[in-house]
Structure 1
Amino acid sequence: MTMARIKRDPKKVALAQAILEAYQPKSVEDMQDALKDVFGPMFEAMLKGEMNNHLGYDSNDKSPKENDNRRNGYGKKTLKTTQGEIEIEVPRDRDGSFEPTIVPKRQKDVSAIEGKVLAMYARGMSQRDISKTIEDIYGFSVSHEMISDITDSILDELNEWRNRPLKKCYAFTFVDCMYVTLRNDYEVKECAVYVILGYDLQGHKEILGIWLSESESKNYWMQIFDDIKTRGVEDIFFISMDGVSGLEAGAKAIFLNVVVQRCIVHLIRNSIKYIPSKDYKKYTQSLKKVYGAPNLKAANIAFDSFKNEWSQYPGAVDVWVRNFAHIEQLYDYGSDVRKVMYTTNAIESINSSFRKVTKKGSFPNENALFKLLYLRSKELEDKWDGGVVRNWSMVLNQLMVNDKFKNRIDKYINL
Structure 2
Amino acid sequence: MNQFTKEIVTALAQHQDLAIIFKDQLETAVNELLQNELSAFLGYEPYDRNGFNSGNSRNGHYMRTFNTKYGELKLTIPRDRNGEFVNHTLPAYQRRTDQLEQTVIQLYQKGITTHEIADLMEKMYGSYYTPQTVSNLTKVVNEQVEAFKNRTLSERYAVVYLDATYLPLRRDTVAKEAVHIAIGIQPNGHKEVLSYKIAPTESSSVWSEVLADLKHRGVQQTLLFVADGLVGLETAVGKYYPDAVIQQCLVHVSRNISHHIRVHDRQAVLNDFKLIHQATNKRMAEHSLANFVNHWRKRYPKVTQELLKNQKLLVCFNFPPAIRSSIYSTNLIESFNKKFKRQTKKREQFPNEESLERTLMTVILDYNDKFGRRTHKGFNLVQDTLESMF
Task: Tell me whether 171-180 or 80-89 shows the greater mean CA deviation.
Answer: 80-89
Please give the alpha-carbon distance, in whole angstroms, between the structure 2 residues aligned to 1:38 and 1:263: 64
Match of 2:185 in 1: 199
1:200 CA displacement: 2.8
Please give the alpha-carbon distance, in whole angstroms, between the structure 2 residues aligned to 1:293 and 1:169: 29
Match of 1:259 in 2: 245
Match of 1:116 in 2: 103
The answer to whether 1:247 aligns with 2:233 is: yes
Amino acid in structure 2 at the alignment position of 1:375: T
The answer to whether 1:38 aligns with 2:25 is: yes
2:223 corresponds to which of 213, 237, 247: 237
Equivalent residue of 1:195, what SS? strand
Over 3 Å counting, the alpha-carbon distance change for 1:204 and 1:238 in structure 2 is same
Amino acid in structure 2 at the alignment position of 1:248: E
Over 3 Å counting, the alpha-carbon distance change for 1:158 and 1:328 in structure 2 is closer
Match of 1:21 in 2: 10
Equivalent residue of 1:386, what SS? coil
Asked if the contact 2:67/2:97 (under 8 Å) is kept, the reply is: yes
Please give the alpha-carbon distance, in whole angstroms, between the structure 2 residues aligned to 1:106 and 1:280: 66
Over 3 Å counting, the alpha-carbon distance change for 1:129 and 1:69 in structure 2 is closer
Please give the alpha-carbon distance, in whole angstroms, between the structure 2 residues aligned to 1:313 and 1:34: 80
**Which structure 2 residues correspond to residues 297-312 of structure 1 after superposition, within 5 A?**
297-308=283-294, 310=296, 312=299
Segments of 5+ residues of structure 2 without an aligned counterpart are none
Over 3 Å counting, the alpha-carbon distance change for 1:149 and 1:272 in structure 2 is farther
1:244 CA displacement: 0.8
Match of 2:281 in 1: 295
Amino acid in structure 2 at the alignment position of 1:232: G
1:199 CA displacement: 1.9
The answer to whether 1:213 aligns with 2:202 is: no
Please give the alpha-carbon distance, in whole angstroms, between the structure 1 residues aligned to 2:4 and 2:306: 75
Match of 1:155 in 2: 142
User: How high is the TM-score relative to the length of structure 2?
Assistant: 0.82
Over 3 Å counting, the alpha-carbon distance change for 1:275 and 1:52 in structure 2 is farther
Please give the alpha-carbon distance, in whole angstroms, between the structure 1 residues aligned to 2:48 and 2:64: 27
Over 3 Å counting, the alpha-carbon distance change for 1:329 and 1:48 in structure 2 is same
Segments of 5+ residues of structure 1 without an aligned counterpart are 1-9, 409-415
Amino acid in structure 1 at the alignment position of 2:68: T
Asked if the contact 2:184/2:191 (under 8 Å) is kept, the reply is: yes
**Which structure 2 residues correspond to residues 10-409 of structure 1 after superposition, within 5 A?**
18-21=7-10, 26=15, 30-55=17-42, 69-125=56-112, 130-131=117-118, 134-135=121-122, 138-151=125-138, 154-185=141-172, 187-275=173-261, 283-308=269-294, 310=296, 312-313=299-300, 317=304, 320-323=307-310, 325-359=311-345, 360-384=347-371, 386-400=373-387, 405=389, 408=390
Q: Could you tell me the percent identity over the aligned residues?
A: 28
Amino acid in structure 1 at the alignment position of 2:104: V
Task: Tell me whether 173-182 or 146-155 shows the greater mean CA deviation.
Answer: 146-155
User: How high is the TM-score relative to the length of structure 1?
Assistant: 0.78
1:240 CA displacement: 0.9
Over 3 Å counting, the alpha-carbon distance change for 1:56 and 1:349 in structure 2 is farther
1:205 CA displacement: 2.3
Equivalent residue of 2:314, what SS? helix
Equivalent residue of 2:312, what SS? helix
Over 3 Å counting, the alpha-carbon distance change for 1:340 and 1:142 in structure 2 is same
Amino acid in structure 2 at the alignment position of 1:179: Y
Over 3 Å counting, the alpha-carbon distance change for 1:206 and 1:377 in structure 2 is same
Please give the alpha-carbon distance, in whole angstroms, between the structure 1 residues aligned to 2:334 and 2:34: 53
Asked if the contact 2:247/2:314 (under 8 Å) is kept, the reply is: no
Over 3 Å counting, the alpha-carbon distance change for 1:145 and 1:378 in structure 2 is same
Over 3 Å counting, the alpha-carbon distance change for 1:224 and 1:295 in structure 2 is same
